[in-house]
Amino acid sequence: MSSHPNAPRADQVRDQFIRFFVEKAGHTAVPSSAVVPHDDPTLMFANAGMNQFKDVFLGTGSRPFTRAVDTQKCIRAGGKHNDLDDVGVDTYHHTFFEMLGNWSFGDYFKEEAIAWAWELLTSPDWWGLEPKRLHATYFEGDPGEGLEPDLEARDFWLKRLPPEQVHPGNKKDNFWEMGDTGPCGPCSELHYDGTDDLSGGPKVNADDPDVIEIWNLVFIQYNRLQSGDLQPLPAKHVDTGMGFERIVRVLQGKNSNYDTDVFGPLFTAIQTITGARAYTPGGDPAALADPINVAYRVIADHIRTLSFALADGAHCGNEGRSYVLRRILRRAVRYGRQTLGVTEPFFYKLVPAVVDNFAATFPELKQQADAVAAEIKEEEVAFGHTLDRGIALFERAASGLTTGGQIDAQDAFVLYDTHGFPLDLTQLMAAERGLTVDEAGFNQKMDEARAKSRAGASGSDDARQSLLEGVQKGLDAGWFTDTDFTGYGATESPFADNTLHLFVQHDGVYQPATQANAGDAVAVVLKATPFYAEAGGQVGDSGGIMVKHQNAVTRVKIEDTIKIGGVHLHLGRISGGSLTGLDPQDGGVTTALAVDAERRALIQNNHTATHLMNRALRDRVNDQANQKGSLVNDQRLRFDFTHGSTLSDDEIAAIESDVNRDLAADEPVYIDVVAQEQALKINGLRAVFGEKYPPKVRVVSIGVPVADLLADPDNDAWSTRSIEFCGGTHLARTGAAQAFAITSQEAVGRGVRRLTALTGDAAAQAQSAGAQLLGRAQALADVAPDALGAEVEAVTRQLGAVVLPLRVATAVRSALTDAGTRLKKLQKEAGNASQAQVVAAAQAAAAAHSGSGPLVARIADADGKSLRTAMDVIRKQHADTPMMLAAVFGDRKVALLASVPPAGIAQGLKAGDWIKAVAPVVGGGGGGKPDQAMAGGKDPEKVDDALEAARAFAAEHLG
């Protein structure tokens, strides 16, 4: 492949592209948006430069400029655009890449875009590529969509290239769409012919490594609707995207993107860290297919993807984009282990090489380097625990299979479920041996596992499975259809015609039934119900059902409500009467239904407060915080969200203040069902990434009517409001929740925090108890020394016995810490004073001793520990004297300590025997060695008697 005579470095290529459009065509250079589009639930990752301008193309937003240029961080791994399977196999696909791009927002169009692209590529003042090596494509049209050929673009290219270098392209290649919905239009691609004999014309768009696409000029004219229809946009735009890695390859005259200085430093780091042989550059087929070269390409590509994604706030996990990242990481780690022979964690050690190579352009890499490396290491270590066992299982599953054979679905599922092997990793390992995987069977087992999980509230696995099978049987037989939920507007339903189908539990398994007796555990399916079934973090309702059937009334106590598919199951027991003679075909009965309204009200307090806390978190802590999970019941609310550090006391206080302000304002809660496409345009709307929303969505807006949001979706004021997609039940007005208090925070995973909070009377009681206990804790500073220990103990006990607001509990703990420090200081001072008294008493005992015979004395103010100090003081003056000392301390405790020098032992007095003889006098016992022994007792009134016994024993044994 020929190259520019003065091949630029990669960083120079990036700079030249941006400089050309800024200086030559008056574009505004803009920074790359995050590769993780936290504010766009329709995108898994930023996959093109235009993502950050989507609102402009849709006509719902604007910018203070009409021309822009940048380099955009992109990931294509999952969703509509997915290059993961091609990475490592060829020389020009990547999961992470940079997209150099220029845009026109209703300004210039095809003619200028094509002219400037030609100038940058071919002018000797810029990149000077040979025109004979460039091929252009244009959209050939699509009668099925009613789209005409793009002859305008074709004719502009024919002014610069001969006809044999201008090619028509089909919709797949020359009609660009960002996703299943959104801006789109015909495009014109530029391909570079790297063949030696310029024979690349027929290879355009044929995935040939010698003829690669380098630039795509998209002429955005349409918006793809949810219905699939194309709607003309109010203004025409230009969106161009040039693969940075590809143009660097062309300009540096390489046969592979991986042979450029974009990847060279990463390959060096891989070799240094793993000890593998060096990468073999070039596009030779044998070198390309070499397993070690493949491993180099995969690992280098994947460490870029993980580093950029995690630096922009993504995390590895089990759902959505988080699981895609985990799959990518495990794919790289497997190559390191199985192909490069690395037995220890290595992948995280490559992060510094990514930082060194790209942080000058993307400074967030350096800012987040430690956190990124830490998360990758944690994931790598966790996968390493099961990787070897998983490889061994794969080897067993593949043994005996010949080319074309298939890995069994059960083996693939066990690899996934037990050993953490994503399906595509198992498929990759199979493909390396010419095998396939039973994907359909694997998917069936996954569906079965998910169904069991969804039936989770029903008890044991057998119970869950039986309910799942029972519901499916009922749907197939036409006994019932999806339940009509009537509980948004009411919690009761008076006696009315309904249908009832019954499942009765026997031996832990639910079976369809036509009768049930008092005390039976049942699952009831109704045609219509006001009982909310557990979903979206909100627990299911409880309450009661009265059934009139065959002139009898039966009462059913409902303890929980769950949902399988669209069918509500009311779980409970027959509490009065019995049901008989039910017809499984029509199920006709009369029912009166009553949800536990008091419990529902408490749940709604917590659910509406959860929405307010979600908004306050974004305002006060992290505007990129995304919901990762929630639990809303009648006792508390729990909210998991993305954030990398512990919330400070000030942040907790700000969140509480905001929510309590909104409760005090008694704002109305507005709820409307609207078209998803329309709702997504609302500024500030929150949607949970990874959720599949229906065409019609339920919008919950606090304080602003949904109609107002739809009438003015771009209003900046909406970004400070709580606006969410939500299927749960809520308060009519915020004031009903009364009060709000956060009671705990904790980490529940890498980059995920959890807050737990109370509302209503529970919050008010916690606040009251907190104020009382905090006052008592703060008063510890003034408690008298002799009472401080007991008061610290009392406050500590009370702290563990009540639920308090987190900020108050923290303040109480701080006051206890201060009091504990003061108590230790007082105890030390008291100990020092006591020690001095013990020394004085010991010196007095030493001075009083005549120097002959044993020294037997009582030491005032001593205890078991300081009695040794007294012994040491006396021994300095009477080293050859047998001694027994006694002390009384604490709650009627006695300590005895004996010491006998060698001369005394030789005469027949041994300390151990001496102690054993004396200790019983004070109600104790002890012993020790001949030279030293100790004992304890519990009768301080007998200490003087014990000392007399000590003198007598010593006199007898010393002769």
Burial 433-442 (b: 16+ CB within 10 A, else e): eebebbbebb
Average of per-residue pLDDT across 722-751? 92
Handedness of CA 231, 236, 237, 240 (dihedral sign): positive
Average of per-residue pLDDT across 743-762? 89
pLDDT at residue number 457: 41
The rounded distance, in Å, linking the Cα atoms of 653 and 658 is 9
Q: Is the pLDDT of residue 959 over 70?
A: no
pLDDT at residue number 456: 45
pLDDT at residue number 690: 47
User: At 834, which amino acid appears?
Assistant: S
Q: Is the pLDDT of residue 318 over 80?
A: no
- Spatial CB neighbours of 719, under 8 Å, sequence gap ≥ 6: 683, 684
- Residue 187: enclosing H or E segment and its boundaries? strand 182-193
Residue 567: how many CB atoms within 10 A of its CB?
A: 21
pLDDT at residue number 400: 79
The rounded distance, in Å, linking the Cα atoms of 137 and 213 is 10
pLDDT digit string, tens, across residues 833-876: 677 888 888 888 888 887 788 999 999 888 888 898 899 999 89
pLDDT at residue number 3: 45
Can you tell me which residue has the tokens 């004297």? 881
Give the least confident one: 269-278, 352-361, 644-653: 644-653
pLDDT category of residue 178 using cuts at 50, 70 and 90: low
| Token pair listed for 654 | 């700000």
Q: Is the pLDDT of residue 2 over 60?
A: no
Q: Which of 276-285, 354-363, 456-465 has maximum average pLDDT?
A: 354-363
Report whether 740 contacts 658 (CB < 8 A).
Answer: no
pLDDT digit string, tens, across residues 886-939: 999 877 889 999 999 999 999 999 999 999 999 999 999 888 999 999 999 999
Q: What is the DSSP letter of 542?
A: -
- Residue 869: enclosing H or E segment and its boundaries? helix 866-877
Average of per-residue pLDDT across 815-827? 86
Residue 458: C-alpha distances to residues 452, 552, 562, 631 (Å): 10, 28, 8, 17
Report whether 587 contacts 567 (CB < 8 A).
Answer: no
For 677, how many CA atoms within 13 A lie in the half-sphere containing its CB?
13
Kindly report the backbone phi and psi dihedral angles of residue 388, in degrees, each rounded to the nearest multiple of 5, phi listed first. -65, -40
pLDDT at residue number 898: 94
Give the least confident one: 73-82, 369-378, 697-706, 783-792: 73-82
Mean pLDDT over the full length of the chain: 88
Q: Is the pLDDT of residue 450 over 80?
A: no
pLDDT at residue number 183: 77
The pTM (predicted TM-score) of the whole model is: 0.54
pLDDT at residue number 615: 94
pLDDT at residue number 42: 55
Query: How much of the chain exceeds pLDDT 90, in percent?
Result: 55
Q: Is the pLDDT of residue 1 over 60?
A: no
Q: Is the pLDDT of residue 779 over 80?
A: yes
Average of per-residue pLDDT across 725-742? 95
Residue 745: C-alpha distances to residues 275, 755, 819 (Å): 44, 5, 25
Report whether 178 contacts 48 (CB < 8 A).
Answer: yes
pLDDT category of residue 301 using cuts at 50, 70 and 90: very high
pLDDT at residue number 831: 63
- Residue 809: enclosing H or E segment and its boundaries? helix 806-848
pLDDT digit string, tens, across residues 486-512: 999 899 999 999 988 999 998 888 988
pLDDT category of residue 146 using cuts at 50, 70 and 90: confident
Query: How much of the chain exceeds pLDDT 70, in percent?
Result: 95
Can you tell me which residue has the tokens 């793993």? 274
The rounded distance, in Å, linking the Cα atoms of 773 and 792 is 12
Give the least confident one: 24-38, 144-158, 446-460, 607-621: 446-460
Q: Is the pLDDT of residue 484 over 90?
A: yes
pLDDT digit string, tens, across residues 633-667: 999 999 998 887 899 999 999 999 999 999 999 99
Report whether 497 contacts 587 (CB < 8 A).
Answer: no
pLDDT at residue number 479: 84
